[in-house]
Each structure stands twice: as C-alpha cells, then as structure tokens.
C-alpha cells in the first residue's frame, strides 16, 4: 500500500470547491504537516519533494536569477521546517506555502540591492506565458525571453501580483491570501502591473 492510500484524509476547511484529485492532494499535504508536527521527518522530506520545484519556479520568476532562486528556496524550506506544524488547513497548503515564499522574496528585495544584470540559465523554466493576453493588447506579441526580462523590471509588489495571477493562474482571492493584502489592493497592483508592462512591451516592440 502506498503512502497516499494509507493516510486518513481530514477536512481542510477550504472555502473553494475542487476536483476530487485536487482535494485529495490538499488533504494529503495537510496530513503530512500533522505527521511532521509529531516528529516524522519523512513527512517533511515528502513535503519538500512535492513542492520544492514550484517554490523554486516562483522564486526564479520573481528574481530572474538562478542562484538567488536556489538560495531563497532553501530559506523558504528552512522556514517551513519551523512553521509547518502551525498550518491548520484553513486554506490550501500551496497557498500558505507560497505566501511564505512571496514574503521571503519581498524581504530579500527590501534587504538587498538586487542586480538585474546577473546571469541566468536558459531552459531552467518554461518561458512565462500570460494566461489572458486580452489584458495586454497586440503588444504582447513579443518573444517570451524579452517578456521575462521586462517582468523583472516591475516593482516587486506589482511583479508578484502579475506572476501569481496572470502567469501562475491564482484567482484574486488566492493572490490576496498569498501576498497578505486585501483583494482590492491585489486588483489595484495587478492593474498597475499590467499598465506598466504594456508600456514596457510597446517600448520594446
């Protein structure tokens, strides 16, 4: 019997309806945090295996730098090691984890003068793809490498809102939860991010 089938899957208390497979995955993550809270190190290792790639992806999209993304991913999971036992399942575990990630990245930007000319590695991630190009108009017909270079020029808060909503596919409520701000503020930052990116796209088209 595999680990997934052997677990009792409790209610998470989430307000969103999900497909059965997604709901089971969310409940499984919650159960892993409970096991880790009771001292089972293997549960933390499994959380890492399940989520480290997406945490790295988010850090990399925010920084556009492989070394910084790797360091930030390590810091996120160190923080998760100390905080996993506090997760109560009131939201999706990924939402909670990505809030830790965004907070860590934004703190990094506040505490460091981030250089934008640091080298990156081609092919580390799929190039960014805007999910709904209607928000950007014909200027979005720019190659994806240039798009990635322009996104990193946005202010960190704008960048986070745009990446979470328009690239990662979170809705406004989820984006607000991850960023720790109101839905209204999320929408405002996303609107300003789109306007700024539109201007940058036109300048580079």
CATH number at residue 43: 1.10.1740.10
For 168-201, the DSSP string reads S---HHHHHHHHTS-HHHHHHHHHHHHHHHHHHH
How many separate domains does the chain show?
Answer: 2
Report the percentage of the chain scoring pLDDT > 90.
Answer: 48
CATH number at residue 146: 1.10.10.10
Confidence check: pLDDT of 74 > 80: yes
Same domain, 29 and 108: yes
Which structure tokens are listed for 192? 């300003």
Summarize pLDDT for 165-182 with one digit per residue, the tens.
988 889 999 999 999 999
Nearest alpha-carbon partner for 29 in 46, 13, 17 = 46
Confidence check: pLDDT of 6 > 90: no
- Give domain status of residue 3, yes or no: no
Confidence check: pLDDT of 67 > 50: yes
The whole-model pTM stands at 0.71
The domain boundary residue, chosen from 59, 91, 115: 115
Same domain, 36 and 83: yes
Confidence check: pLDDT of 109 > 90: no
Highest mean pLDDT among 68-72, 89-93, 136-140: 68-72
- Domain extent, residue 159, equals 126-205
- Give domain status of residue 4, yes or no: no
């Amino acid at each position: 019997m595999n680990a997934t089938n052997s677990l009792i899957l409790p209610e998470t208390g989430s307000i969103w309806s999900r497909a059965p497979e997604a709901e089971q995955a969310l409940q499984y993550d919650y159960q892993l945090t409970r096991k880790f809270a009771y001292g089972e190190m293997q549960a933390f290792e499994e959380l890492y295996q399940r989520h480290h790639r997406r945490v790295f992806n988010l850090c990399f999209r925010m920084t556009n730098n492989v070394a910084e993304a790797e360091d930030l991913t390590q810091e996120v999971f160190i923080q998760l090691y100390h905080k996993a036992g506090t997760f109560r399942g009131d939201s999706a575990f990924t939402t909670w984890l990505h809030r830790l990630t965004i907070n860590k990245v934004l703190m990094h930007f506040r505490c460091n003068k981030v250089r934008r000319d640091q080298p990156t590695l081609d092919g580390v991630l799929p190039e960014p793809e805007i999910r709904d190009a209607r928000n950007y108009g014909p200027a979005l017909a720019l190659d994806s490498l240039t798009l990635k270079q322009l996104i990193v020029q946005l202010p960190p808060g704008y960048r986070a809102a745009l990446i979470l909503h328009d690239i990662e596919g979170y809705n406004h409520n989820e984006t607000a939860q991850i960023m720790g701000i109101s839905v209204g503020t999320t929408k405002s930052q996303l609107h300003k991010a789109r306007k700024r990116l539109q201007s940058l796209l036109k300048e580079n088209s």
